[in-house]
Amino acid sequence: MKKFIAAMSVSALAVTAAYAGVTEEDLANDQASTDQVVTNGMGRHLQRYSPLETLNKDNVKNLVPAWAFSLGGEKQRGQETQPLVYDGVMYITGSYSRLYAIDVNTGEELWQYDARLPEGILPCCDVINRGAAIYGDNIYFGTLDARIVALDLKTGDVVWRDKIADYKAGYSYTAAPLIVDGLVVTGNSGGEFGIVGEVQARNAETGEIVWTRPMIEGHMGTLNGQESTMTGTLNATWPGDLWKTGGGATWLGGSYDIDTDTLIFGAGNPAPWNSWLRGAGEPTEGNVGDNLYAASRVGIDPKTGDIKWHFQTTPREGWDYDGVNEVVAYTDRGGNKRYATADRNGYFYVLNREDGAFVSAAPFVKDITWANGIDETGRPIFNEPNRPGNPANATDGNKGEVVFSSPSFLGGKNWMPMAFSQKTGNFYVPSNEWGMDIWNEPVTYKKGAAYLGSGFTIKPNYEDHIGSLKAIDPDTGKWVWEYKNDAPLWGGVMTTAGGLVFFGTPEGKFIALDDATGEELWSFQTGSGIVGQPITWEMEGEQYVSVVSGWGGAVPLWGGEVAKKVNYLNQGGTVWTFKLPKQLASN
């Protein structure tokens, strides 16, 4: 077994190797190519749907472990990655910015890369990594010190690495990169430190930056090393100089809609959380205080980085409802091309794929207090008394009025990806039923320091469950069924043409449900909480399913009273791979 670390020299052979491996065509056809998984989301539209139906409702009871692989060492914590499978090898990322190549037949390690992380990194929400990207003969992933690294697929040698941003200012990187037409497209993390969200595109072969697109108005984009266009209009929706440290981190990465040739990235919370400081506390004329493009979905031209459209889910955001939740391209039952996104604010949105225009919205959690609904334009109908109070009005000047808001700032749905079934036409959305006491405090920006201006305590809304996996009809917004779970759900979901919905729980169960009814058909105890993202593929006529088990993520760190409820859960770090043996496929 070989191990490689960041100090290794660049391999000249890897730099000059022809891109004969994974092609743009392979990426575009990933969902249909059932013998491999070469994109995050099992397709760049992020549907997380497999057309495989060898494994189905009748025989899933015969699914058995094939092999397990331990990430080893003391570097455990949350394991939120999605495996990739290509040319007989599985690639997974691990906590603390590690990447493994594993023989997909045996589970044996082929090589491992450990990034040499500096002292003083400032990850917001655990030391996780959500996956890699493959293109040509290279594999790409980001590190907690806000770098992007290209490695040789066969050897793990460094081909190139580049700096995304300054980790000392609070930047980090945890998402899986996105590959489109030979460009490696990345976002950034660090919204709680007053950074500025940005999308960057690099030449996949050389690492050279092609374009950049900031997410906060007033900042200038670049194209081929020159200034291109400004994001928005300076001071249109931001007061004074607050746009300079305005947040809007693109920390979850993006999706790609090949039909419209559009990248879609979510921009996170505006900074600071205290909305009164951003001119968003009081009702205003027009869009003053909306703080664009934070808490928004943004359509971007992949060739130039120019903004094509935007949709802001929570203007005047004051609860850290963010806006990065993944945007999934799909076609509805009427043949209409749509986008769907389940926002942390508790509403499930449907948008038009041509221009991002609002189509509909409906709640996907039971209790929403901050808004009384969504109007016909897609703008929330604010419940103003539920906005955390202005600390400037406090008698001691230190703490504004405390309010109970639902959902909590960790969201009706956080990072954990939902799935769309082409078989049922429904979305399967991992959600959580929780709220929070929240208040605002005075705050000033300091480089590398937390920039919140708020305090909070998360509380469960119900005694019998927090987690709730819901099947949602996107045409009506209605819930088809609900699967309740005691602990919060924090991992991804996958659907298959065999009528199955796969997901994991913090209690360690990996579960398959009936996609039509929500009935539990199969489960396996993995030994640690699952916050990873499952995949499935076919090899030598047998269907395989894999998921990474390892409890962690934001809940133990930020969860308040909820964190106390799950503090007994064990950490871990194991790739579990299951298969349906041929002789049991017809049983």
State yes or no: 174 annotated in a binding site: yes
The DSSP code sequence of 414-480 is -S---EE-TTT--EEEEEE-EEEEEEE------TTS----EEEEEEES-SS-SEEEEEE-TTT--EE
CA dist., res. 10 & res. 157, Å (int): 7
> Mind spelling out the 3-state secondary structure of 14-34?
HHHCCCCCECHHHHHCCCCCC
Q: Looking at the predicted structure, is the pLDDT value of residue 71 above 90?
A: yes
Helix residue ranges per DSSP H, 18-76: 24-28
Which pLDDT band, with edges at 50, 70 and 90, does 570 fall under?
Answer: confident
Cα-based distances in Å from 415 to 221, 342, 352, 430: 26, 10, 22, 10
Is 111 marked as a binding-site residue?
A: no
Which two three-digit tokens encode residue 112?
């491992």
List the helix and strand counts (H, then E) for the chain. 4, 41
331 in a labelled binding site: no
CA distances from residue 549 to 41, 42, 484, 527, 556 in whole angstroms, order as listed: 18, 19, 20, 8, 16
The catalytic residue among 137, 320, 343, 515 is 320
**Residue 526 annotated as lining a ligand binding site:** no
Identify which of 325, 311, 336 has the alpha carbon closest to the alpha carbon of residue 266: 325
Q: pLDDT tens digits for 98-150?
A: 999 999 999 999 999 999 999 999 988 899 999 999 999 999 999 999 999 99
Concerning whether 306 is annotated as a catalytic residue, the answer is: no
- Confidence (pLDDT) at 9: 31
Give the percent of the chain with pLDDT over 90.
88
The predicted-structure confidence for 6-42, as pLDDT tens digits, reads as follows 333 333 333 333 456 999 999 999 999 999 999 999 9
Please give the Cα distance from 396 to 394 (Å, whole number).
Answer: 5
pTM over 0.85: yes
Q: From its phi and psi, is residue 499 left (phi > 0), alpha (psi between -120 and 50) or beta?
A: left
pLDDT reading at 514 higher than 60 = yes
Could you read off the pLDDT of 192-227 as tens digits, one per residue? Answer: 999 999 999 999 999 999 999 999 999 999 999 999
User: What was the pLDDT predicted at 2?
Assistant: 42
Please indicate if the annotation marks 130 as binding a ligand. yes
Domains of the chain plus CATH, in order, are 2-48+81-280+294-584 (2.140.10.10)
339-396 pLDDT, tens digit per residue, is 999 999 999 999 999 999 999 999 999 999 999 999 999 999 999 999 999 998 887 7
